[in-house]
Amino acid sequence: MGESMPEIQQQLFDTGEPEKPTRRDKKRSNFLAPINPITLMQIWEHYVETFWTGRGRKPRLTDERAKLITAAVNQFDVETVKRAITGCSLSPWHMGQNPAGMHYTSIELILRDAPHVEMFYGLSVVEEDAKDF
């Protein structure tokens, strides 16, 4: 009876071996591999230049946004991420021509997942092809 409850719980759950990372953890760690801070800032500045109107507070690069950008760069490449940001700015719907009149231009939306990045990238490619036509 001399053992306290936390010690008993530790004995019950401590196998002495560190937990092995799952396949999902390994996949996530690949996406969160560090990228060059200059690259991170270039992408963030491109986003701010594209969407900040100069009114209101300037968007700030938070840790969550940095992780999102890092994952996108590790999954795609710098140019694709920048063109996805540009592609969002070329979408009338996302720029406010929708029934709600709302702008849907957050970096969280643009880089949410691979289908979003690919969709917005595709919009920039279509615009570029239209210019060449």
The DSSP-derived string for 49-76 is HHH--SSSPPP---HHHHHHHHHHHHHS
How confident is the model over 77-92, as a mean pLDDT?
A: 95
How far apart are the C-alpha atoms of 105 and 21, rounded to whole Å? 35
| Whole-angstrom distance, CA of residue 81 vs CA of residue 74 | 10
> pLDDT of 55-64, one tens digit each?
889 999 999 9
Could you tell me the residue ranges of all domains in the chain?
35-132
Please give the model's pTM, rounded to 2 decimal places.
Answer: 0.74
| Residue 95 clears pLDDT 70, i.e. is over it | yes
